[in-house]
Amino acid sequence: MNQGPATTILVLVGSLRRGSINRQIAQAAIDQAPNPVRMRLFDGLGELPLYNEDVDTGDVVEPVAAFRAAAAEADALLVVTPEYNGSIPGGLKNAIDWLSRPYGRGPMSGKPAAVIGASLSRYGGVWAHDEARKSLGIAGLRIVESIRLSVPTKTLDGRHPAEDADLVRTLCGIVEDLAAEVSA
Helix axes 126-138, 90-99, angle to 10 degrees: 20
Q: Which of 18, 9, 28, 31 is nearest to 160 (CA)?
A: 28
Instruction: Find the shortest distance in angstroms from Cβ 83 to ligand FNR.
Output: 4
Neighbours of 178 (CB within 10 A): 25
- With vertex at residue 181, the alpha carbon angle to CA 21 and CA 16, rounded to the nearest 5 degrees, is 20
Number of shown-chain residues binding ligand FNR (CB under 6 A) = 15
Helix, strand, coil percentages in the chain from 3-state DSSP, rounded to 5: 40, 20, 40
Which of the stretches 12-20, 29-37, 90-98, 175-183 binds ligand FNR when contact is defined by CB under 6 A? 12-20
- With vertex at residue 177, the alpha carbon angle to CA 141 and CA 78, rounded to the nearest 5 degrees, is 45
Cis peptide preceding 102, ω within 30 of 0: yes
41 forms part of the interface with ligand FNR (CB under 6 A): no
Among 8, 9, 10, 20, binds ligand FNR (CB under 6 A): 20
Among 6, 17, 36, 169, binds ligand FNR (CB under 6 A): 17
Cis peptide preceding 161, ω within 30 of 0: no
Instruction: Find the shortest distance in angstroms from Cβ 45 to ligand FNR.
Output: 12
Beta carbon nearer to ligand FNR, 124 or 140: 124
Instruction: Find the shortest distance in angstroms from Cβ 168 to ligand FNR.
Output: 17
Q: What are phi and psi of 97, to 5 degrees?
A: -60, -45
Name residues contacting ligand FNR, limited to 70-129 (CB under 6 A).
82-86, 119-121, 125
Instruction: Find the shortest distance in angstroms from Cβ 122 to ligand FNR.
Output: 8
Beta carbon nearer to ligand FNR, 19 or 110: 19
Instruction: Find the shortest distance in angstroms from Cβ 51 to ligand FNR.
Output: 20
Instruction: Find the shortest distance in angstroms from Cβ 159 to ligand FNR.
Output: 14
Positions that interact with ligand FNR (CB under 6 A): 15, 17, 20-22, 82-86, 119-121, 125, 153
